[in-house]
Amino acid sequence: MKSAITRVGLAGVAMVSAGALLAGCAGGPTEEPADGTATIQVAIDAGLEPEARANFDARVAAFEDANPDITVEAQEYTWTAPTFTTDLAGGTLPDVFTIPFTDGRGLIANGQLADISELVAELPYADQFNPNVAQAGQAEDGAQWAIPIAAYGQGLHYNRTLFEAAGLDPDSPPTTWDEIRDAAKQISNATGEAGYATMTSGNTGGWILTTLVNAFGGRTESGDATAPTLDSDPAVAEVLEYLHALRWEDESMGANFLYDWGTINQDFASGRIGMYVSGGGNYGNLVTQNALNPDDYGLTVLPLQGADPGLLGGGTLAAVSPKASEVEQAAAVKWIDFYYLAKLTDETAVVETAELAASLDQPVGAPELPIFDQAQFEQYQSWIAPFVNVPVDQMAPYTDAIFDQPLIAEPRVATQDVYALLDTVVQAVLTDRNADIQKLLTDAQAQAEALYTKAG
């Protein structure tokens, strides 16, 4: 009898397990609650310092107070090409996430973003976006599926402490590429750290190479975006020769040639890199994610040379998951408006946000480019002026000159794939003294042409 009871009990456990398994496997679209409430997952930078996280949580609380029907759950998210693809394919993106300008149109064309254009059109500033910025998040018909929230121009970040240790004046950063080379050599010789470092992995090698090619007066794509110009534009080879000289003749690039965006930020913040090129608004990430000592920090514009040089620009779009229900999409746009845009457009929100961030020792006033018109940008700057706590004087070489530099958009076709091809080229130049630059570029050109053909 006991045996029978045990068997029945065990069978029950097995059935419950099977039921749980089935329930666990049951997926599907989010059901909308009948009472109109919504819970949305929103992106938050991964690995924030405690103060930055407290700042975020305070803003969530303020949003939920203003919108009692919406519950916000934070999900750590940092855009990188491989992790984004994985999240996209696996359906694990938060409801609100950010993407670079380069991906906006492609994702919209693939139907991989929610169409929130009608909700965006209702925002009071919907028609005030800088058209050059807004187009990165527009569909073919001009509908705004993704919202620009930040724009940047590349800059040269440098470590003032290492500059001083090498006998360089941190208030007079290099203004030509030859001066950058000399400074790198001087820093490397004096401190043993990398005078100049560059990203090479996770598609960032191609991104920074393209930045330098533009600064040297060249392009990696034809004007009509129908073909790559890797082996035909002399500036591409010129930049690679320049990097080769820093690496092998001067030995001023340190010992790490596999940096990506995260690891180069880490090493720069920890004082192991004299100079590197990245987005001009990177100061916030360096402080909130890498505990940068503000006293170490310096920022200047990239030197421009050659016949038609320019500054590679880019930016960030906020987008909504296509899996979000209509109620969630509406809540998501409210969050984007509150968290990303009201702090730029609404004086009360701007002041509150800046005051809160400053009270938590979070950076206020890091350099950025306007996503609306110049007048709105200047008004915003005046609103936050009392709370600015970033070392603005140390960024003056950048902020004084950035608006005079002609901006160039990133290549339009197969951007990330071509960047990945160029990762290999840059790595080869930095890890092989005898690298045949012309052959590397010929091979990369052939592969890039195949990508352009495939992209149609």
Partner 1 sequence: MTQISPTTAAPQSAEMIETLEYAVDPLRRRRGLRGWLRGDGPHMLVFLIPLLFSFILFSWRPIVDAAIMAFQRTNLIDPAEWVGLDNFVTVLQDPLLGTAVVNTLWFAVLALLMGYPIPLVVAVLMSEVRRWRGVFSALAYLPVVVPPVVAALLWKFFYDASSSGVFNTIIGAVGIPPQPWLQDQATAMPSIVLFATWSAAGGTIIIYLAALVGVAPELYDAAEVDGAGVWRKVWHVTVPQLRGVLLVMFILQIIGTAQVFLEPFLLTGGGPANSTMTILMLIYKYAFQNSLGGDYGAATALSIMLAIVLAIFSAIYFRLTKGWSSS
Beta partners for residue 433, in sequence order: none
Which of 170, 423, 437, 444 binds partner 1 (CB under 8 A)? It is 423
Quick one: 257 or 398, whose CB is closer to partner 1?
Answer: 257
Half-sphere exposure of 333 (CA within 13 A, CB side): 23
Tokens of 140: 């073919």
Q: Does 424 bind partner 1 (CB under 8 A)?
A: yes
Which of 195, 202, 206, 298 binds partner 1 (CB under 8 A)? It is 202
Instruction: Choose the stretch contacting partner 1; rule: CB under 8 A; options: 10-18, 148-156, 352-360, 369-377.
Output: 10-18
The amino acid present at 447, given as its one-letter code, is Q
Tokens 């320049």: give the residue. Answer: 242
Which of 218, 254, 284, 298 binds partner 1 (CB under 8 A)? It is 254
- Report 167-186 residues binding partner 1 (CB under 8 A): none
Q: Are 138 and 107 in contact (CB under 8 A)?
A: no
CA–CA gap between residue 447 and residue 445 (Å, rounded): 5
Quick one: 99 or 292, whose CB is closer to partner 1?
Answer: 99
Q: Does 5 bind partner 1 (CB under 8 A)?
A: no
Quick one: 7 or 36, whose CB is closer to partner 1?
Answer: 7
Grouping H, G, I as helix, E, B as strand and the rest as coil, residue 149 is strand
Minimum CB distance to partner 1, residue 403 (Å): 30
Quick one: 106 or 303, whose CB is closer to partner 1?
Answer: 106
- Burial tier of 246 (Cβ tally within 10 Å: 0-12, 13-18, 19+): buried
**DSSP element (H, E) containing 103:** helix 101-109
Quick one: 121 or 291, whose CB is closer to partner 1?
Answer: 291
Q: Does 18 bind partner 1 (CB under 8 A)?
A: yes
Query: What contacts 289, CB < 8 A, 6 or more positions away?
Result: 45, 46, 47, 48, 49, 52, 265
Which of 1, 2, 5, 22 binds partner 1 (CB under 8 A)? It is 22
- Report 313-352 residues binding partner 1 (CB under 8 A): 322
Q: Does 430 bind partner 1 (CB under 8 A)?
A: yes
Q: Are 249 and 266 in contact (CB under 8 A)?
A: no
Q: Are 203 and 423 in contact (CB under 8 A)?
A: yes
Number of residues that bind partner 1 (CB under 8 A): 50
Query: What contacts 394, CB < 8 A, 6 or more positions away?
Result: 160, 170, 294, 297, 298, 299
Q: Does 258 bind partner 1 (CB under 8 A)?
A: yes
Which of 107, 269, 317, 390 binds partner 1 (CB under 8 A)? It is 107
Instruction: Choose the stretch contacting partner 1; rule: CB under 8 A; options: 163-171, 367-375, 386-394, 423-431.
Output: 423-431
Half-sphere exposure of 223 (CA within 13 A, CB side): 1
Q: Does 203 bind partner 1 (CB under 8 A)?
A: yes
Quick one: 76 or 178, whose CB is closer to partner 1?
Answer: 76
CA–CA gap between residue 9 and residue 344 (Å, rounded): 62
Which of 1, 5, 255, 307 binds partner 1 (CB under 8 A)? It is 255
Instruction: Choose the stretch contacting partner 1; rule: CB under 8 A; options: 41-49, 313-321, 337-345, 414-422.
Output: 414-422
Q: Could you give the string, one character per residue 70-99, with x where binding to partner 1 holds by CB under 8 A and - elsewhere?
A: ---------x-xx-xxx-xx---------x
- H helices, E strands: number in the chain: 19, 9
Quick one: 24 or 68, whose CB is closer to partner 1?
Answer: 24
Q: Does 11 bind partner 1 (CB under 8 A)?
A: yes
Query: What contacts 63, CB < 8 A, 6 or more positions away?
Result: 70, 72, 334, 335, 338, 339
CA–CA gap between residue 388 and residue 128 (Å, rounded): 25
Q: Are 298 and 394 in contact (CB under 8 A)?
A: yes
Residues making up the chain, counted from first to last: 456
Residues that bind partner 1 (CB under 8 A): 7, 10-11, 14-15, 17-18, 21-22, 25, 79, 81-82, 84-86, 88-89, 99, 103, 106-107, 110-112, 192, 200-203, 254-258, 260, 322, 414, 416-417, 420, 423-424, 427-428, 430-432, 443, 447
